[in-house]
Amino acid sequence: MKGKKRSWVWKNLFSIVTIALSIGILSYFLVKDNGLKILWKAVLDLRPGWLFCVVLGVVSGWVLEGSVLHLFCRHLYHHWTFGRSFYIGMVGLLYSNLTPFSMGEPMEIYDMTRIGMDVGAATSIVAVKSLVHHGVTFFYSLVLVLLKLHYFQTTISSFSFITIFGLITNSIFIITVLLFIINQTLTEKILLVIVRIMNKMKMQKLSSKFYRKVHDQLLIFHDSSNLMGTSLPLYLYAVVLTLAQVTISGMVSYFVYRSFNLKGQSVLTMIAGDAFTTMAASFVPFPGSSGGMEGGFVLFFHSFFGDRIMPAVTLWRTATYYLEIPIGALIASIGNRKYTAQNTDLSSTAAH
């Protein structure tokens, strides 16, 4: 028994250390500058109704995550249940919070194959869902930038750099994937040009790894688009649900704001701040973007919360990150026992 516990701790050491550091950072700021006194006063002033909205917003985000996944699963497997999709969605969120470089999607594919789905179909579903999510998040953030550009430029000194960097990075990803789906030959030529440039800069080893990684990923998206087909209603529903998911996730910040009995900021401004926080932190390679999310929240919301910013970060991060870990682990455990036991070959029910 002790050997098993030691093995589990060793396998999850990076995640444990990262979560501990995240908690440590929050604890440090709470102890510093009478943070605990401010926290206690803030807790006494919290509004239960808005706290309920925080929880409702987080749970709604989980349900919408499963719903988007379910759209694509049912497209290929007509007898696939929502329970399976919700379980897989929570597995993805759990491992994104526990592993570096967001290993949630590979774990989704792994668990989908364990409960009866073909590996090609599972890969296609997760790849297309990822592309839809990236696309919606990019255009959503772009619209918010245009609507709230002046406000954040005059409030946050590094806002322009963070926003431009995030939008450019996401746009390169989306354009590259779409270009490969539309014209595989052209994309291959572009990749080879990049490799030649890297080789001239004496980066042969790096260029080889870059080519293999990018080429393999793009092949997955290309095969996925062929398997999923070109059903306009399917992608339209997925975009609408993803838009709702991103919006509700952004509203959690507003619910936290109101739970501290604060007023004056519009819902749109809070959603914009949340979108920029997520975009800025998406480049942090730690589990759950730890450190980046907390720093981004302080950067974008300090002027909203004032001296209550650290209690606000604590509540927001607890609801959107720490809470997902035990709940996700519980659902993953229940789903694993239930759906693995029920595992049957679904190929006969697949829609090809």
- CA-based R_g, the chain, Å: 22
**Tens digit of pLDDT at every position of the chain (352 positions):** 455 555 545 555 655 666 676 666 666 656 655 555 666 666 677 888 999 999 999 999 999 999 999 999 998 888 899 999 999 999 999 888 877 656 778 889 889 988 888 877 888 888 888 888 888 888 887 788 778 777 777 776 666 566 666 667 667 766 766 666 666 676 677 777 777 876 776 666 666 776 776 667 666 666 666 667 777 889 999 999 999 999 999 899 999 999 988 888 889 888 888 887 777 666 566 665 666 677 778 878 888 888 788 888 888 988 998 888 889 889 999 998 888 766 654 544 455 4
The pLDDT assigned to 311 comes to 82
Q: Between the CA of residue 334 and those of 323, 328, 338, what are the distances in Å?
A: 17, 10, 6
The pLDDT assigned to 275 comes to 80
- How many Å apart are CA 141 and CA 143, to the nearest integer? 5
The pLDDT assigned to 347 comes to 47
Determine, yes or no, domain membership for 326.
yes
The closest of 208, 215, 246, 295 to 25, measured between CA atoms, is: 295
User: What is the rounded end-to-end Cα distance, in angstroms, of the chain?
Assistant: 46
The pLDDT assigned to 147 comes to 82
Q: Environment class of residue 211 by beta-carbon count within 10 Å: exposed (0-12), middle (13-18) or buried (19+)? A: middle
Q: Which one-letter DSSP state was computed for residue 33?
A: G
- How many Å apart are CA 276 and CA 20, to the nearest integer? 25
- How many Å apart are CA 219 and CA 225, to the nearest integer? 10
The pLDDT assigned to 307 comes to 79
CA dihedral 141, 147, 150, 153 (to 10 degrees): -10
Q: Where are the beta strands (DSSP E) in 136-190?
A: none
Q: Residue with structure tokens 């949630």?
A: 104
> What sign for the dihedral angle of Cα 258, 263, 267, 272?
negative
Determine, yes or no, domain membership for 15.
no
Determine, yes or no, domain membership for 101.
yes
The pLDDT assigned to 245 comes to 94
The closest of 39, 45, 51 to 312, measured between CA atoms, is: 39
Question: Has this prediction a pTM greater than 0.85?
Answer: no
Determine, yes or no, domain membership for 268.
no
The pLDDT assigned to 236 comes to 93
The pLDDT assigned to 241 comes to 96
Q: Residue with structure tokens 């001296």?
A: 307
Total tally of structural domains belonging to the chain:
1
Determine, yes or no, domain membership for 175.
yes
Determine, yes or no, domain membership for 7.
no
Structural domain boundaries, residue 202: 46-243+317-346
Determine, yes or no, domain membership for 335.
yes
Determine, yes or no, domain membership for 24.
no
